[in-house]
Amino acid sequence: RVLVAAAIPFEKEFRLSAKDRLDFFVRGSVAIETKIGRSLASLTRQVNRYTQDARVGGVLVVSTRLRLQNLPERLNDKPVRVCVLLSSML
């Protein structure tokens, strides 16, 4: 919804390979991966595979898990950023 509201072109469930499918591929170069659960090691391996593809210029991981913010800032000389979304308890 955020991408649509901002009129940012993207493809959902973009297939990089038989093994890898991006949640969103923005403007043909930014991979967006959304994660709720998964280990940091597993996510690091996944993002590392994504950054090996020449079509991916960088990766944004959106998660609700603070522990996932410890991804490397660069993999395969491409930027990796993590956005952690926290909900406040009322």
Burial class of residue 13 in the structure, from the number of CB atoms within 10 Å of its CB (0-12 exposed, 13-18 middle, 19+ buried)? exposed
pLDDT attached to residue 89: 42
Residue range 69-76: average pLDDT?
A: 94
* pTM for this model (two decimals): 0.89
- Pair type for strands 78-84 and 74-75: antiparallel
Q: Render pLDDT for 16-64 as a digit per residue (tens, 0 to 9).
A: 999 999 999 998 899 999 988 778 999 999 999 999 999 999 999 999 8
Q: Render pLDDT for 1-13 as a digit per residue (tens, 0 to 9).
A: 889 999 999 999 9
